[in-house]
Structure 1
Amino acid sequence: MKKSILISSLFVATALVSQSAMAEIKIRAGAGSSTYELGGDYITAKSTYKPATIGLTFSSDSGANAGYLDLSYSGGSGKHDGWTKYGTPSEEFKRSDFALTGGVVFLNQDNGIAGNVYVGIKTGTTTLGATKAALEGPGPYTPTSSWTEETFETSGVIFGGGASFPIASGRAGSVGVNVGLGIMGAKWKDNSTAGFSATADTAVGGSLGASYTFPFTSNFGVTADYKYHSYSYNFGTSALPFTVRERISTLGATVYAKF
């Protein structure tokens, strides 16, 4: 059901792009500073890292309305403190995110205020180093059950909307706000000999964002933004049920070019 709704929505957005003679391509790249936090019954970990981001948007312009398809990727690495409370050093941390969204923008041509709605798919992968986990963590571990890495993978459908407000009729740029919801699934696994793996029940979470965009020219500009995501997952089907709360906050900047 979720997949059919998503495919239908992306098909509509694709049709809007293909039917317009005013097609446009926008590329962007940038960097940011992110704080990633995991909490729950058996895990508490935090990492501050600097992800790089790239994106590509195909859009149309048919007057007051426009359709678009957007691809985005971000990734970065750092250290996490998940095992430091047991006297171990900080471990390696990696995070990557990918999203494909399609949507429609509605422009008020009298005041320049624009609104948009979107739907898409999103995936995220978190890799947590755990070199000392089996030796220093709680529980009756043996050398054959030890692991050196844990992976937390999420995927699902996202949808939401937002608005953009011009400053000084757009001469000083614009500010934007957005809010989104997600219906996500997750898997937690490690690389132990036993091969632990648990799948979470479907979770609902959300995101908030704010941005400022300044166009140097009609085809080139910069955007500064803040994003916050929060999801809670219940791994109730494993032999030892547990919950995981995931929170990500990112302050970033990107440059873009339109063609």
Structure 2
Amino acid sequence: MSLRIVVCVKYVPDATGDRRFTEDLTTDREAVDGLLSELDEYAVEQALQISGNAEDAEITVVTVGPEDARDALRKALSMGADKAVHVEDDDLHGTDVMGTSLVLAKAVEHIGYDLVICGMASTDGTMGVLPALLAERLGVPQATLLSEVAVEDGAVTGRRDGDAATEHLRAELPAVVSVTDLSGEARYPSFKGIMAAKKKPVETLDLSDLGIEAEEVGLEGAWTAVEDATERPPRTAGTVVKDEGEGAKQLAEFLAGQKFI
């Protein structure tokens, strides 16, 4: 039986762009270019590594987002994934991580899976909690923040490196894992891969396809809300300290005034 791998990816605003909020205090995604979250590229890479070591495996990438989010799927397909699923619905606007985990759980169940792989966090929200929420909704084990991952004998194994210790984890399939940026450099899509991606299937789903009511997601269903936002002030000239015998004292006073010490 084929090993069914699902990789959750996110289309995020380019961190180098000028990111702003809209009037409803959600991210203005039309004002800045988007791309596949860099940390999710590691998840795609590990899926490809596992698939390459399996006798028979299929990789499906799934994302939740607007029409442009399809670009993130195409990047993953050009890296080598087999097919993609795009959940797109106007009622998803403003969905937080709780709603996103619900939508992804329903999508993963729709696809069918043995192993779900996520990045350690998205490069826009940087919360890092979605893999755990997804595992809870699916009712399966989780092994998060892995710097090394493999599948053998019906289980996923991995290594988690902490500040004070290294843990070796094992979970029976089906399971959810997340991988860190130390798991292995993601490959660059080849020209052949880019051309092949154009012919790979991309299924589009909406909330009704997944049995989700509009009030469960979006701004209405969000568990969190941005109440206020202030534009970052322009950068000002720094303070120059001339050392004429009192430099260290002036530096200490400046740091204390900024509450750095």
TM-score normalised by length of structure 2: 0.24
With CA pairs under 8 Å and 6+ residues apart, which has the higher RCO, 1 or 2?
Answer: 2
Return the structure number with greater helix share: 2
Return the structure number with greater strand share: 1
